[in-house]
Amino acid sequence: MINDYQKLDSEMSNQSRRAFLADVGMGFTGLALGSMLQGDGIVRAGEPVDWSPPDGKPHFAPKAKNVIWLFMVGGVSHMESFDVKPAINKYANKSLDETPFADVLQNPLLDQNLRVVDRRKKNWKTIYPLQVGYHQARENGILIANDWPHVERCLGDIALIRGMWSTDDNHGAQLQFHTGRHLLEGMFPSLGSWVHYGLGTLNENLPQFVVMGKPIKSRFGGDGSHGADYLGPEHDGVKIRVDTKNPLPFGIPGSDVSRQEQRREFELLGDLNRLSAVEYPDDADLRARIKSYELAFGMQRAMPEVFRFEQETAETLSLYGLDDPATNEFGRICLSARRMVQRGVRFVQVYDDGPNDAGGKWDTHNNSSPRLVENARSVDKPIAGLLTDLRRRGLLDETLVCFMTEFGRTPGGQGEKATGREHHPYGFTVWMAGGGIRGGVVHGATDELGFHAIEGRHYVTDIHATVLHQLGLDSRRLEIPGRKRLNIDHGTPIREIIA
């Protein structure tokens, strides 16, 4: 039986054979000439005659202009946050075999989509009690953990997506959530890079695609989670620090260089690079360098201004939690994200991670009880502050806010003396708000233990498709000749949560 993910193997992504042979037969001269002819509207044999690169305009009327992507690194426990399962406490410390749910380990979904990376992982049978308190939310009656009081007050703006599944049992799922492909398959363009590639800029002095926070570790995909791969480095996310004096590493000139001198330097470098581009028209690194120089001069003034929080009222700073050491760091990032989209940054990608060298801040294999409380406290108020601030400024309607994580956690405790939970790609929860998304809704479901996604099942590229749809983009119209994408790469917009 072909499963959801094996369909990847049923399609091929081959470049046109005739075009490839024509270029190889003519050597490097042929490659360059082919690119120049294409620029003049002439295509090589075997290439589609109707292809042209994006013109920066949406394919259809968008419902959103910007995206703020909040990624919780490590795997948020869904049943101890936004998909609480009372049955876990009812059957706590019992084996699955002693409960009405013994068949979850015989469900064909268990192995159907999983591509095992770490064979040490296992589905522990002894059910581990919930490590958080919970209650029924006033807004829409869902059960929610007590540790999210501020986000709870924003549930009227949020669409919970409870039927997520993935295929990686280890933290390569962090890369997978951003590219749609398993780590074993290599690097592919990230979602933010597709947005950057497809849409024009709203501010010539700021990057279209900004990255803040501590990126995922190299062994789990590293910069690939905000990289552009074959789209070219000009579409990579730009890593920014929340630092007025030096937001862009190596982006500030020496104190002995005047602005006029620097402008002349950039102009000279630009002229030299454009001359080189004539000789090497297919050099993606050169194109990226030219664009980076064009952007850098404007950024040196525009970017530090983004972080001048003294322009905000004391009430706004408190709204994001800047007056509390527990929330200050993430609050500053969330406030920066709002100020960025306010100034036209298209895609702001935020990582929430800690100082540890394991799978991430939210990777609660052990000592989970205090860590769940601490983790939620550090982001709850800043995220709610972001949603509230966007709404009252009239920006939430055009800004899509996404709360994401790579997988959930197991109902069973990890080990004989469990203090935490194992990775769980079979069913977990994410959510979206604003940007034309229906608020106050719950889509999809896991079973009573939170083990399998059983309703409204969605692979990660359905999230990508929903984001692109809200921005007015059709991923199939972004395809590049010779880089045929697979059906699962495109995903399907989640219509049930779209207003």
| Residues 191-230 pLDDT 10s | 999 999 999 889 888 999 999 999 999 999 999 999 999 9
Sheet of strand 238-239, all strands in order from the earlier edge strand to the far edge: 238-239, 209-212, 347-352, 66-72, 399-405, 428-433, 158-164, 441-443
**Using CA of residue 341, residue 343, residue 345, residue 349, what is the dihedral sign?**
negative
| pLDDT of 7 | 45
**Interatomic CA distance for residues 111 and 97, integer angstroms:** 19
Q: Is the per-residue pLDDT at 258 higher than 70?
A: no
The strand pair at 453-455 and 238-239 is best described as: unpaired
Confidence of residue 273 (pLDDT cuts 50, 70, 90): low
Residue 412 buriedness (CB in 10 A; 0-12 / 13-18 / 19+): buried
Q: Which amino acid is at 73?
A: V
The two tokens of residue 219 are 């062994």
| Residues 179-195 pLDDT 10s | 999 999 999 999 999 99
| Residues 72-106 pLDDT 10s | 999 999 999 999 999 999 999 999 999 999 999 88
Beta bridge partner(s), residue 350: 70, 212
Q: Are 127 and 412 in contact (CB under 8 A)?
A: yes
Q: Map residue 127 onto helix, strand or coil.
A: strand
Convert 82-99 into a string of H (helix), E (strand) and C (coil). Answer: CCCCHHHHHCCCCEHHHC
**Interatomic CA distance for residues 124 and 412, integer angstroms:** 5
CA-based Rg of the chain, rounded to a whole angstrom? Answer: 24
Beta bridge partner(s), residue 413: 421
| pLDDT of 228 | 96
**Interatomic CA distance for residues 304 and 242, integer angstroms:** 9
User: Which of 440 and 286 is assigned the larger pLDDT?
Assistant: 440
DSSP code of residue 103: G
Q: Is the per-residue pLDDT at 38 higher than 90?
A: no
| Residues 380-396 pLDDT 10s | 999 999 999 999 999 99
Lowest mean pLDDT across 123-137, 270-284, 307-321, 470-484: 270-284
Confidence of residue 13 (pLDDT cuts 50, 70, 90): very low
Angle at 439 between CA 437 and CA 442, to 5 degrees: 100
**Interatomic CA distance for residues 385 and 15, integer angstroms:** 48
Rounded (10°) angle between helices 259-279 and 284-306: 160
| Residues 327-373 pLDDT 10s | 999 999 999 999 999 999 999 999 999 887 689 999 999 999 999 99
Closest listed residue to residue 215, CA positions, set 194, 180, 197, 240: 240
| pLDDT of 117 | 72
Residue-averaged pLDDT of the chain: 86
Residue 2 buriedness (CB in 10 A; 0-12 / 13-18 / 19+): exposed
Q: Is the per-residue pLDDT at 9 higher than 50?
A: no
pTM to 2 decimal places: 0.84
Residue 221 buriedness (CB in 10 A; 0-12 / 13-18 / 19+): buried
Residues 6+ apart with CB under 8 A from 172: 117, 182, 183, 184, 220, 221
Rounded (10°) angle between helices 191-198 and 460-470: 20
Confidence of residue 22 (pLDDT cuts 50, 70, 90): very low
